[in-house]
Structure 1
Amino acid sequence: MSNAMELEQMTRPTARQNYTGSTKGSVEGGDTEVGPATGASSTVEGGQGTPPAERTRKMVMTDHLQFFAACWSMVLAGWNDGTTGPLLPRIQQVYHVNYAVVSLLFVCACIGFISGALINVPLSERLGFGKLMALGSALQTIAYAIDSPAPPFPVLCVAYAINGVGMAIQDAQANGYVASLKDNSEAKMGFLHAAYGLGALAAPLVSTQFSQKKHWSFHYLTSMGVGLSSVIIQIAVFRFRTHDECLLRIGLPVQEKGSSTESNFKQIFRLKNMHILAVFILVYVGVEVTIGGWIVSYVIDERGGGPDSGYISSGFFAGLMLGRLVLLWVNAKVIVRVRNSIALLMSLPQIGEWLALFIYALLAIGLELVVWLVPSLIGGGVAVSLVGLLLGPFYPIAMNQAARILPAWLLTPSIGWIAGFGQAGSAVLPFITGALAQSTGIGSLQPFLVSMMGFMMVLWAMVPRKATHMD
């Protein structure tokens, strides 16, 4: 694995290599000066200067701590997404609501996600990375505190919206931070989202137990504990520092700055490729959370599953976590084999991950057809876990591709928007699923998932395989 990944790092052109030295370029969709400013100072707030040539042991340790803090924020995000599925049947029972009404939880979460994605870019410029990481965790913790006493259903919906804002902010900041790391950033992106899978794996194990008890909503007290731990970790590790200060503390140079007088908000919205990736992530996250959120109801109603069906959701997220770790090696092998066997593609080192995603998508569609057409509870549960395994690498691959094809000086805010906007998919698609289930039955889940996976493949085909130069 190490040889393959080293070969990839040696041969692939990075976003910084593609854009460094350009002082003026046109962002797709409009001409504007957005190149990195020549002679830009690397000094950031607090009087810190350029990093030393060699990283000290303290810097390496700080790097590990900061990466752990970012991963823990993703554990919280995964915990949140893995919670709802096993609780949905109980929520319907307690509040006497049908599929369409209970899906309003996802609508309110969507409002929160979109709001968080929109305010993330301007808040990043005003408050900075460290403060926003703590704020995002705090908002999620507050939402869980509201959920815990089983409030009236409208209040529960408001809490889901607050949770969505906090989750979108944290998701955007954590992805932007890891994408800006130079040292083995692709593997770190995989581990970051494996942390999400870990949280999503653990949550159904707990929420399934609470769903069968009288005080089912006390599960949110557990969620509040996870959220509070994230608040403490974000404050203790990042200490409200800016993104540039955090990079300097680990011996990395600050990110290049654009020479344009326009705000980052205006510049990034001219990037066509960013919007394609954002829609791709929206559909992907929607598919992921729809499976985790509705598969329990599907198994109970369509396959005669019992209360323990919630563990199937855990199996899916376990596969998701493993996919983001194990398939990193497979991705690297695909890259090397394609380079060695097809000389024409030697100039496209990104083709390995780009092609691997198509292969995983086709296999996942095949397994969804098994869940849909084979009336077997055990077989369906195994197939769902394997679908999670195959979908696991999608998010890290997309983020790695964003780092290759987007301008380096706009990378962090762009990835922030992709992650924040994409998180809305975890609300939009589950809501559509609920609406379809209300009108045609929960059996509509599988054909809907198959169609969305096919749509993902179409979107991925539209993503460029290499960076567009701005000369």
Structure 2
Amino acid sequence: MVSIELNDLDDVNKPFIPQEPLMEKYSVEFEGSTIYIDSLDWRKSTRLKIQIIVSLINFILFGLAEQSVGTLIPILQKQYHVNDMQTACIFLSSISGYILMGMLNGYTHDKVGLKGILMIGTAAMVLGYGTFSTAPPFFILVVFATCNGIGCGVLDAACNTWIGSLVDSNQILGLLHGCYGLGSMLSPSLISYLIEREVNPWKWNQYYLILCGLALSMFTTSFFAYKYETAAKYKYVTKLKMEKEVAEAAEAGLDADSDDTPGIQAPLSQVMKKPLVWVLSSILFIYVGAEVGFGAWLISFLTRINHLPFGQSSHIATTFWCGLMMGRTTLGFVTAHYFSTELSANFTYISLSVLGYTLFYIFSFTKFVPLIFIIVAFTGYVVGPIFQTTIVASIGILPSSFHTSGVGFICAIGGSGAAGIPFLVGVIAQSSKTGLRVYPLVILGLYVILWGLWMYIVRRFSGSYRKAQ
């Protein structure tokens, strides 16, 4: 490893800096701290491979947790004697924590670095899931859902921003969100098995002991795996990236983005003034909200409207998340190798998603269960890669100074859809005895809006967009 004495990146008299300073291994003195730089190419770094694996496991936990409430809705309503709207408050409660941590993504990176952020997130999960495991009064359940939102918001914003800057970001983000899909896929069937098994059936709250234990282990693992991902390293790497971007623009005879100030990450106040950030945030809000809303209320819809057994309905929900996992895992490679840009890839995936939800709306009221399985699996598959493709496209569109705070804000607003849309479906379901019947049409309508918004992005940026590495 090369050792560099560097206190000020603007001082050209300092010793050697690699021509590709974020693609080689070296140490550097910066602002009184020793910074350990590793390659952004996983092929060249064992530590980076370990960090990616830890992130993948964190997203399995993310998926296991996020689908637990939707699966447990019938059981929670029976135990706590609450209606659909009251149950939906659990989703709504998690918005505050999710938005808070996503919007503070740039600030927390600056203060504690990636290691500190991941430890905060997993600690919040330990607190939230530990409380859920005690089967507390319903009010406490709703309040501590905020901790779950904090944990999921941290993982979402931090991991997406970090992995989005690595080599092979499409493929790795596909694996990352595939792991979310894996956790989401396992959750309904695992809960159904544990609760309905004939010998020693579990109570619903005991499932959260699994989540609490996994979160505690990830808290410890993150400390060691990301021990060099400090606040000082974040500042150093950010400065290098932005100076490189400005230098490349100058070499090409172009003006740097007016929002991009070398060495300075745009504050949240500046990020929120950029209309493009709000458009991208709206896209992820609709996407995440409709995806999670569909999965969260699918079991209730199938049991109450189609009158299918709880176990069979759980397996259909598992099929959706299985398809989503496969789509996120495999289609990231398709995006990287067979599409000219992430913009055209995402347009294709969104168009196919509209088709899938249309077919579900047409056939969801039938008793032909095998066809429902096929439609749900197909829909999950084409819905799967939209999130990571949007993140990669956002990093390609936004200036470097907006990457941390901007992508964090986009993830925060987008992630809040995972609470907002399921809450909306709950309100509609509570409106009348047949309110839940329109749930497939609500999801379909949201994806039509998503299609229109992405069409705007394609038309505006297709001429200047550069595909990710």
* TM-score in same-fold range (> 0.5): yes
Shift of 1:333: 5.7
What is residue 322 of structure 2 aligned with on the other side? 318
Q: What residue number does 2:256 align with?
A: none
- List aligned pairs for 1:37-186, cutoff 5 A: 44=30, 47-48=33-34, 60-181=45-166, 183-186=167-170
Cα contact 1:303–1:377 (8 A) shared by 2? no
Question: Could you tell me whether the CA contact under 8 Å between 2:239 and 2:262 is conserved in 1?
Answer: no
Distance 1:468 1:44, change over 3 A: farther
Match of 1:223 in 2: 211
SS, match of residue 127 in structure 1: helix
CA contact (8 A) 1:85 1:310 kept: no
**Equivalent of 1:401 in 393, 411, 435:** 393
User: Across the two proteins, how many residue pairs are aligned to each other?
Assistant: 413
When residues 351 and 157 of structure 1 are mapped into structure 2, their CA distance, relative to the original with a 3 A threshold, is closer
* 1:392-412, Cα deviation, whole Å (9 max, x unpaired): 010011011112101023212
Distance 1:400 1:99 in 2: 36
Q: Are positions 1:455 and 2:458 aligned together?
A: no
Indicate how the Cα distance of structure 1 residues 417 and 299 shifts in structure 2: closer, same or farther if over 3 A, else same: same
Q: Say whether residues 1:187 and 2:171 are aligned partners.
A: yes
State whether structure 2 residue 421 is matched by structure 1 residue 429. yes
Whether the 8 Å CA contact 1:208–1:310 is kept in 2: the answer is: yes
Q: Tell me whether 1:439 sits opposite 2:431 in the alignment.
A: yes
1:406-455 deviations in Å (ceiling 9; x for gaps) = 10232122111111221101100000001101113321211111111111
Matches of 2:322 and 2:415 in 1, distance apart?
A: 20
CA contact (8 A) 1:51 1:248 kept: no
Q: Give the conservation status (yes or no) of the 8 Å contact 1:130–1:242.
A: yes
Q: Deviations over 1:178-219 (max 9, x none)?
A: 0121x1112111111111111111222222234444622111
Distance 1:52 1:128 in 2: 15
Alignment root-mean-square deviation, CA: 2.9
Equivalent in the alignment of 1:278: 281
Q: Which residue identity lines up with residue 142 of structure 1 in the other structure? A: L
Residue pair 1:141, 1:228 contacting (<8 A) in 2 also: yes
Letter in 1 for 2:89: L
The answer as to whether partners of 1:298 and 1:443 remain within 8 angstroms in 2 is yes
Supply the AA of the counterpart residue of 1:318: C
| 1:200 counterpart residue number | 184
Closer, same or farther: CA 278–53 of 1 in aligned 2, 3 Å? closer
| Letter matched to residue 142 of structure 2 | C
What secondary structure sits across from 1:256 in the alignment? helix
Partner Cα distance (1:412, 1:318) in 2: 30
Cα pair distance change 1:64/1:381, threshold 3 Å: same
Normalising by structure 2, report the TM-score: 0.81
Shift of 1:133: 0.6
Q: Distance in 2 between matches of 1:307 and 1:102?
A: 18
CA distance in 2, matches of 1:54, 1:194: 21
Contact 2:271 2:405 (8 Å CA) reproduced: yes
Which runs of no fewer than 5 residues in structure 2 stay unpaired? 1-26, 244-260
TM-score normalised to structure 1 length: 0.80
Counterpart in 2 of 1:20? Answer: none
Counterparts in 2 of 1:466 and 1:437: CA distance versus 1, 3 Å: same
Distance in 1 of aligned mates of 2:103 and 2:83: 31
Inter-partner Cα distance in structure 2 for 1:56 and 1:391: 27
User: Alignment partner of 1:423: what SS?
Assistant: helix
- CA deviation map 1:268-289 (0-9, x unaligned): 2233222211111111111111
Contact persistence 1:285–1:426 (CA under 8 A): yes
Q: How many angstroms apart in 2 are the aligned matches of 1:332 and 1:373?
A: 38
1:385 shift after superposition: 1.8
After TM superposition, give the deviation of residue 226 of structure 1 in Å: 1.8
Are 1:366 and 2:358 an aligned pair? yes
Letter of the 2:296 counterpart:
G
Shift of 1:312: 1.7
Structure 2 residue aligned with 1:290: 293
Q: Which amino acid aligns with 1:62?
A: R
Judged with a 3 Å threshold, the aligned counterparts in structure 2 of structure 1 residues 390 and 263 are, in CA distance, closer, same or farther, namely closer
Which string of whole-angstrom CA distances, capped at 9 and with x for unpartnered residues, describes residues 295-343 of structure 1?
A: 001110112211202122211111001001222344356526xxxxxxx
The aligned amino acid for 1:170 is: L
- CA 1:139–1:46 in 2, change beyond 3 Å: closer, same or farther? farther
**Separation in 1, partners of 2:431, 2:191:** 28
Query: Relative to 1, partners in 2 of residues 1:56 and 1:456: Cα closer, same or farther, differing over 3 Å?
Result: closer
Structure 2 contact 346–386 (Cα < 8 Å) conserved: no
* Aligned: 1:420 with 2:416: no
Distance 1:407 1:311, change over 3 A: same
Q: In structure 1, what is the equivalent of residue 258 of structure 2?
A: none
Residue 349 (structure 2) aligns with:
357
Query: CA 1:261–1:396 in structure 2 vs 1: closer, same or farther (change >3 Å)?
Result: closer
1:29 corresponds in structure 2 to none
1:53: how far off? Answer: 9.4
Deviations 1:250-269 (Å, cap 9, x if unpaired)? xx995326348785223322
Q: Which amino acid aligns with 2:271?
A: I
Alpha-carbon spacing, 1:81–1:388, altered in 2? closer, same or farther (3 Å): same
Indicate the residue corresponding to 2:19 in structure 1.
none
Q: Does residue 1:331 correspond to 2:298, yes or no?
A: no
Please give the residue correspondences for 1:4-19 in structure 2 after superposition, counting only pairs within 5 Å: none
Instruction: Give the CA deviation at 1:47.
Output: 3.8
Cα displacement (A) at 1:128:
1.7
